[in-house]
Structure 1
């Protein structure tokens, strides 16, 4: 007695239509599998073709979106970069207009509100240059005091010590 095998079901092909996004269904004995037909050259342009075949862009619609991870920068790298940047340029560090307002305010407090002095822009620029040079030099000495105390962070007591050593 020979057993006869049941005839296997074959995939039924449906006629092609002009739409490229249509999915043809293939039936098997146990599960249903959806097969997507390849896009025709008329409907879609390949990403490689857009970039001249370089293959830089290989993303297809439906691919998971990947985001680039931020690179972790070592601590202190940004500070060193800023130090190098500020050492290279000779520009003023304080904005001109706020500094000019501060100078006018100090003059009004010292000489009274009725005194309305006019300032040349060159005079305010000279005051700003001198004050920034003084502050930079003071902070350099303050940093040396902090380093002498085996610290890297400057504190108020370092500023007081630097001014005392200068005789101010």
Structure 2
């Protein structure tokens, strides 16, 4: 025998054992197969080497156990009241992006400008500058409104706080 034939015969894999098609419990591949619902049980269709497909009837208790063991995703614990609000405050104080969407703001500007003159055209930079100034004004107004609410020993802002802040600024008629 040559050396090459000795190597190939030595390292040949043994014949794989063929397991019967029917198993006691479904494998992981069962979750990727077609499932149909019977009255109070699931019918699982498994691929097989036979001409007929192999079907397993699994009761609700077994499916509950299967789903229970395979389900790894857990929902996070609910956060305490105010935690998410404080997180959002920190996030928005760090950020510099615009908070109002561009297209709705642009439509509003065009609608207001149409009352004064029709067929007006806007540069995109002009609408961007308008949006920056509007957001800056609104943020400062809400800061003053919050101070008015705190002065009234409240945490929640109300419309009367906005009116007072505007009156103190000298904006209200």
Identify whether the pair has TM-score above 0.5, normalized to the shorter chain.
yes
- Relative to structure 1, the CA distance from residue 97 to residue 62 in structure 2 (aligned partners, 3 Å threshold; closer, same or farther) is closer
Residue 4 of structure 1 aligns with which residue? none
User: How far is the alpha carbon of 1:96 from its aligned partner?
Assistant: 1.0
CA distance in 2, matches of 1:120, 1:64: 57
Runs of 4+ aligned residues of structure 1 deviating over 6 Å after TM superposition are: none
Aligned residue runs from structure 1 range 132-147, under 5 A: 132-147=135-150
User: Is 2:97 the counterpart of 1:91?
Assistant: yes
Aligned residue runs from structure 1 range 102-117, under 5 A: 102-111=108-117, 115-117=118-120
- Relative to structure 1, the CA distance from residue 64 to residue 100 in structure 2 (aligned partners, 3 Å threshold; closer, same or farther) is closer
User: How far is the alpha carbon of 1:21 from its aligned partner?
Assistant: 4.1
What CA deviation, in whole Å up to 9, does each residue of 1:87-107 have, x standing for no partner? 111000111111111111001
Give unmatched runs, 5+ long, in structure 2.
1-18, 25-63
What is the count of residue pairs matched by the alignment?
111
- Relative to structure 1, the CA distance from residue 62 to residue 73 in structure 2 (aligned partners, 3 Å threshold; closer, same or farther) is closer
User: Is 2:154 the counterpart of 1:148?
Assistant: no
The alignment's TM-score, normalised by the length of structure 1, stands at 0.59
User: How far is the alpha carbon of 1:110 from its aligned partner?
Assistant: 2.8
Residue 165 of structure 1 aligns with which residue? 168
Match of 1:131 among 129, 134, 137: 134
Residue 118 of structure 1 aligns with which residue? 121
Q: SS of the residue aligned with 2:155?
A: coil
After superposition, the CA RMSD in angstroms is 2.4
User: How far is the alpha carbon of 1:70 from its aligned partner?
Assistant: 4.2
More helix by share: 2
What CA deviation, in whole Å up to 9, does each residue of 1:54-81 have, x standing for no partner? xxxxxxx956716645412100111111
